[in-house]
Structure 1
């Protein structure tokens, strides 16, 4: 009898210790016996979700208020389905707690959710690092941790996810360089914009099979990767590289991107002319080259593209645009050197630029053809 009482006493002590270490506001259910949970996978999910609940320090909207008890498939934001290797076993297949405004960290126990295919936690206040245990999520297909407060270097753990197709890590505090292994993943969509990455792009960028890649608003530098993008012509539909530090010229070979819908390279340090070959991007709907140091003439072939809806080339040094450009639904040609167009640069500024035109050789990139001579000053506004 003494042994029985001693065991019961130890159980009470351990329970009190556990309760004393959790945040006072959280509701962690620890009194569930395994027999009440239908199968071992859901039992692991229960452990993982309770550990995660314990790691949350703020849930002002009560999003996880029902995260207790053995029925994890009823938890808000938790989605269950038949296991991919056994249709008779139910397992946690997805987590979606987007826009819940939850603060906290991700515990290592999330690695117990080995059947997880979707993990969406965007627009919360999660911080810290992505746990190493994520490497165990071999079935993870979509990972969206955007718009949180994660920090440190690039989350290398995502490079070990063999099934990953959609990766969104934007609007966090990641910094450092972009690993070359990222572009060897078989991704379809990649978003790492609005972070603090500061490096050149790896030379194997062209290996990526993505259809959409957004890398805007970082500190990326180096020559514009025209050749790498051409290698992606079979899949690439949208690329947004705005507000970085890319230098050099846009090469004519970019015309091979016939399936491109969105091409945004605005707010960089690009120089030279706008290639006539861009007029071969027959699927192009949006083209933005604003806020660079491009010069010369706007090719008529670009404004003749059948699907072009938005063409922005403001804040450059172009000296002419064909009449077909006026038929583009949305166009911005301001702050250039185009005669008779409103809101252009001053004649003095245009003359100074063309007296010392910039070219790719300044940044170590291949030099372009020299820009055309400036028009006569009396034709400028």
Structure 2
């Protein structure tokens, strides 16, 4: 039976085989087919969980001279990664050769936190490089890396467990790629991570409850294939920004949401969420963006929505809400955009039809209700 890693590897290789035989000239096709063959051999021999064998770096023979052992390990990791790249149309990694890894484009070095005498690879930024490939387990050798930014590439497969060795990770952005599989639990092992961006991939399944117990500042989960209920542990989260949009989450908003004291922006739009809004929502006194549009929420708006004293954007459109649109909401002091279109409200107050402040945009399209004057 093929391993989980092998299954995802086959998906990557199938996609890139089409690119190789449909897009390249015959000469380059031969080169890339050879690289693809090597990559497939590497992928299909990985451990099922993508871990890096102990003392792996000492089994790799290198003839280059390095300033220190950590740069040697980084060299091994980066060379393995380059071999796992099938396409680099902008030639970002064209200078990824030789022992001077700190000169590699997109690779950033700094002094080691635990030993300022040592220079180490501390960050990798390949945003918008359009590189296609996968993550080899050798990336687990980059133990000094605190920042990985890979927005807008074509990396696929899974996030290997070997990245658990990157214990200094602070910012991890793999958004807008083609990663698959369940939520990458390896991120839960990073003690210092603050910024986690997984949006616009093909992750699926449920979210681990432990995710919201991490001391995160920003969490982007939108535009994947996540399902299940949002864990009740969300109330323990320290995030200021979190997005759940464009997935398949179901169930209710957990009542613990009211405990999110640091919350500034939260977006639930375009999921399968439903039920009534919990009264605890009114405890989010610092929220500036609250978006629950395009779900199946029912019932009336709780009166404590008017406690959103700092809310700038409020979007409850595209649900099954009934009753009246409270006057107090349309008079919130910081409100600039209020969308409640495509619901089943029966009443709308004049404060919403003609807001007292000129800079408020109100969207009530699709409503058929009695308008109530308060003047």
Where on the TM-score scale, by shorter chain, does this alignment land: which range? 0.7 to 0.9
Residue of structure 1 equivalent to 2:319: 292
Residue of structure 1 equivalent to 2:257: 229
Query: Is the Cα contact below 8 Å between 1:32 and 1:70 reproduced in 2?
Result: no
TM-score by length of 2: 0.80
Query: Is the Cα contact below 8 Å between 1:32 and 1:69 reproduced in 2?
Result: no
Residue of structure 2 equivalent to 1:172: 201
Shift in alpha-carbon separation, 1:110–1:66, aligned structure 2, 3 A: same
| SS state at 2:309 partner | coil
- In 2, Cα distance between the equivalents of 1:203 and 1:163? 23
Alpha-carbon deviation of 1:273?
A: 1.0
Q: Does residue 88 of structure 1 match 2:140? A: no
1:67 to 83, 96, 108: 96
Alpha-carbon deviation of 1:130?
A: 0.6
Q: Does residue 101 of structure 1 match 2:125? A: no
Residue of structure 2 equivalent to 1:243: 270
Residue of structure 1 equivalent to 2:341: 314
Query: Is the Cα contact below 8 Å between 1:186 and 1:209 reproduced in 2?
Result: yes
Residue of structure 2 equivalent to 1:332: 363
| SS state at 2:280 partner | helix
Shift in alpha-carbon separation, 1:107–1:25, aligned structure 2, 3 A: closer
TM-score by length of 1: 0.79
Unaligned runs of 5+ in 2: 1-31, 40-59
Q: Does residue 205 of structure 1 match 2:210? A: no
Residue of structure 2 equivalent to 1:302: 329
Alpha-carbon deviation of 1:252?
A: 3.2
Query: Is the Cα contact below 8 Å between 2:257 and 2:280 reproduced in 1?
Result: no
Unaligned runs of 5+ in 1: 1-18, 341-374, 376-381
- In 2, Cα distance between the equivalents of 1:268 and 1:119? 33
| SS state at 1:175 partner | strand
How far does the alpha carbon of each residue in 1:166-215 deviate from its partner, in whole angstroms, 9 at most, with x for none? Answer: 11111111111111111111111111111111111122221111111101
Residue of structure 2 equivalent to 1:141: 170
| SS state at 2:118 partner | strand
How far does the alpha carbon of each residue in 1:98-120 deviate from its partner, in whole angstroms, 9 at most, with x for none? Answer: 11110001111111110111011
- In 1, Cα distance between the equivalents of 2:162 and 2:36? 23
Residue of structure 2 equivalent to 1:252: 279
| SS state at 2:129 partner | coil
- In 2, Cα distance between the equivalents of 1:20 and 1:304? 64
Q: Does residue 263 of structure 1 match 2:290? A: yes
Alpha-carbon deviation of 1:124?
A: 0.6
How far does the alpha carbon of each residue in 1:346-379 deviate from its partner, in whole angstroms, 9 at most, with x for none? Answer: xxxxxxxxxxxxxxxxxxxxxxxxxxxxx9xxxx
Bigger Rg, which one: 1
- In 1, Cα distance between the equivalents of 2:299 and 2:266? 20
2:146 to 96, 117, 123: 117
- In 1, Cα distance between the equivalents of 2:370 and 2:300? 18
| SS state at 2:306 partner | helix
Shift in alpha-carbon separation, 1:20–1:307, aligned structure 2, 3 A: closer
Q: Does residue 161 of structure 1 match 2:190? A: yes
Residue of structure 2 equivalent to 1:78: 107
Residue of structure 2 equivalent to 1:347: none
How far does the alpha carbon of each residue in 1:247-266 deviate from its partner, in whole angstroms, 9 at most, with x for none? Answer: 11123332111000110001
- In 2, Cα distance between the equivalents of 1:122 and 1:141? 16
Shift in alpha-carbon separation, 1:20–1:221, aligned structure 2, 3 A: closer
Q: Does residue 281 of structure 1 match 2:308? A: yes
Deviates more, 1:90-99 or 1:272-281: 272-281
The number of residue pairs the alignment matches comes to 317
How far does the alpha carbon of each residue in 1:137-172 deviate from its partner, in whole angstroms, 9 at most, with x for none? Answer: 000001111111111111111111111111111111
Alpha-carbon deviation of 1:291?
A: 0.4
Query: Is the Cα contact below 8 Å between 2:145 and 2:169 reproduced in 1?
Result: yes
Q: Does residue 323 of structure 1 match 2:350? A: yes
How far does the alpha carbon of each residue in 1:51-76 deviate from its partner, in whole angstroms, 9 at most, with x for none? Answer: 10010011111111111111111111
- In 2, Cα distance between the equivalents of 1:60 and 1:310? 42
- In 1, Cα distance between the equivalents of 2:302 and 2:210? 31
| SS state at 1:87 partner | coil
Query: Is the Cα contact below 8 Å between 1:216 and 1:244 reproduced in 2?
Result: yes
| SS state at 2:117 partner | strand
